[in-house]
Amino acid sequence: MERNRPIYVRSTIVSVEQKSSNQWQLTDEGKSVVDNGSHEAIVFNTIPSDGMLQGELMSSVPNAKIGFSKAMSAGWIRMDKKAEGGPRVFRKVESIQDSVKECLEKIRSLNLDGITDAQKAEFKKRKLITSVKVNSFYVTKGEGFTLDIEKLEADLTAEMMANGSWKKKTFKPYNFKALGIMPPSGHLHPLLKVRAQYRQIFLEMGFAEMPTNNFIECSFWNFDSLFQPQQHPARDAHDTFFISDPANAHDFPKDYLERVKKTHSEGGYGSQGYKYDWKIEEAQKNILRTHTTAVSARMLYKLAQQKKFTPVKYFSIDRVFRNETLDATHLAEFHQIEGVVADYGLTLGDLMGIIYEFFKKLGITQLRFKPAYNPYTEPSMEIFSFHKGLKKWVEIGNSGVFRPEMLLPMGLPEDVSVIAWGLSLERPTMIKYGIDNIRDLIGPKVNLQMVYDNPICRLDK
Ligand code: FB9
């Protein structure tokens, strides 16, 4: 091995050069001519010395029409149209030279000597030959040509360095274009990808995220603080999951609880209340929260304890639980997305405006609002968007202005209003990733490969 040649470079064993060319090849008909003679030669050879009826000739040989025409043009045969019994065909010469057959034999052996362009054009027109592109590889010996395939070393080892054996080895050159091995990594679930997008939208709009790390909530914060009466059907076990241990909560702001109790049972703040015997035992019951509005209530109460009110924008995206009938798009839990704005003198127009802004960041601009009912908001509106794919208006959320019976017992100033809206995380995720059954998105039957494979989430695209 030359001393000055780098150890990792192997000299060329063979050089390969690709060349493309167009080549004439025989068609099946051309091959038949080589095997059986040209059509005109077959016609000539079929005619006996005393001639034959043209009709008989034309029906007795294949390709008789082209053969007859070419034989006539070549001066090999003649026709007597007035012969007795009908037009007869006779030979004009003793013998013929089948040049078509001879040329095609040469073309088959790739010998085009003496074959004119006009002949090639004629054969091509008669569909006897066709031009094909042929890719050829010309292999020549390189300066390092050898018949022994020497194993290229992939690694320079300490042992080679120590004993000097590296000097006699040839190393495989590094392939710096090789892609690295995909490192094993985690994969975000589609729901979490979409949650990140919604979180980003809220943050861009100046909202702060609420602490939602308590799936278990007491009925007081989940219902009573929201002025939702204790006999409301949503508070029954068929809609709500109750916790057996600990079944009850005991830590409430005492003064606030009394104000809530009074507002429900006797009214107050201009409201007649529900006029029922409000029971703390109902408020103490622990449940799995049915909406993140329970967290909003806690945050608004905390806000009201400030000496001086300050406007806020809060949001939350987290799991809520409802003991509802399951189907292809509903499970007993879902992720609720909620936005809340508290400020002086907010109106329904402000609520519509901020909902427009929110959904515009999702690429949705066609909205409609439909009057609705929520126990804790008045007025309330369902939000609809025109779905281009389905060509119809679909519900995409709910919204409203929190009632004074909810806000004033907390201690918020009378001129402060709070607007809020909500939607689910699952619905947009299923739409985004084209998932029809929620069990393909969430739950024990989810195909984890879907989690690995599904693309990045961009909600505005
Ligand atoms: O998310 C819903 N639909 C939706 C949302 C987004 C979407 O695509 C994205 C825009 C690109 C497509 C559809 N809905 C609300 C409407 C329906 O899906 C509905 O059938 C299911 N609703 C859930 C509750 O059902 C028991 C979705 C969930 C929901 C409903 C209401 C709220 C939150 C979630 C609320 C609220 C609220 C109201 C006032 C004040 C505070 C909170």
Residue-level pLDDT at 461: 55
- For residue 6, pLDDT over 70 is answered with no
Asked if the bond preceding 246 is cis, omega within 30° of 0, the reply is: yes
Mutate to test the pocket of ligand 1, among 290, 396, 417 (most ligand atoms within 8 A of CB): 396
Residue-level pLDDT at 457: 85
**What is the per-residue pLDDT across 287-316, written as a single tens digit (0 to 9) for each?**
999 999 999 999 999 999 999 999 999 999
- For residue 276, pLDDT over 70 is answered with yes
Residue-level pLDDT at 387: 85
Share of the chain above pLDDT 70, in %: 98
Q: Ligand 1 pocket, 364 CB below 6 A?
A: yes
The C-alpha atoms of residue 377 and residue 226 are separated, in whole angstroms, by 9
CA of 272 relative to ligand 1 center, distance in Å: 30
Residue 99: pLDDT band (50, 70, 90) is very high
Share of the chain above pLDDT 90, in %: 81
Average pLDDT over residues 360-372: 95
From atom 5 of ligand 1, which residue's Cα is the shortest distance away?
396
- For residue 1, pLDDT over 50 is answered with no
Mutate to test the pocket of ligand 1, among 424, 433, 438, 441 (most ligand atoms within 8 A of CB): 424
Which helix (H) or strand (E) element contains residue 106? helix 99-108
Q: For 272, what's the count of Cα atoms within 13 Å in the CB-facing half-sphere?
A: 1
What the block records as the tokens of 275 is 């006029």
The C-alpha atoms of residue 219 and residue 287 are separated, in whole angstroms, by 7
**What is the per-residue pLDDT across 406-444, written as a single tens digit (0 to 9) for each?**
999 999 999 999 999 999 999 999 988 889 999 999 999
CA of 343 relative to ligand 1 center, distance in Å: 24
**What is the per-residue pLDDT across 367-380, written as a single tens digit (0 to 9) for each?**
999 999 999 999 99
- For residue 136, pLDDT over 90 is answered with yes
Average pLDDT over residues 85-89: 92
**What is the per-residue pLDDT across 312-355, written as a single tens digit (0 to 9) for each?**
999 999 999 999 888 887 899 999 999 999 999 999 999 999 99
CB 182 within 8 A of CB 254: no
Q: What ranges in 126-214 are assigned the alpha helix state H? A: 158-163, 190-204
Average pLDDT over residues 382-403: 93
User: Which positions ≥6 away from 87 have C-beta within 8 Å?
Assistant: 53, 54, 55, 79, 80, 81
What the block records as the tokens of 147 is 């018949």
Residue-level pLDDT at 3: 47
Residue-level pLDDT at 327: 85
Mutate to test the pocket of ligand 1, among 423, 429, 461 (most ligand atoms within 8 A of CB): 423
The C-alpha atoms of residue 404 and residue 370 are separated, in whole angstroms, by 22
Q: Closest ligand 1 atom to the C-alpha of 380?
A: 39
Average pLDDT over residues 49-73: 93
Find residue 321's DSSP bridge partners: 333
Residue-level pLDDT at 341: 98
- The domain segmentation of the chain, as residue ranges, is 23-132, 191-453
Q: Residue 324 CA to chain centroid, in angstroms?
A: 32
Q: Which of 74-83, 149-158, 178-187 has the highest mean pLDDT?
A: 74-83
Select from 1.10.3720.10, 3.40.50.720, 3.30.70.260, 1.10.10.2330 the CATH code of 23-132: 1.10.10.2330
- For residue 194, pLDDT over 70 is answered with yes
Record: fold of 191-453: BirA Bifunctional Protein; domain 2 (3.30.930)
User: Which positions ≥6 away from 219 have C-beta within 8 Å?
Assistant: 230, 235, 282, 283, 284, 285, 286, 287
Beta strand 208-209 with 333-344 is unpaired
CA of 453 relative to ligand 1 center, distance in Å: 27
Residue-level pLDDT at 53: 94
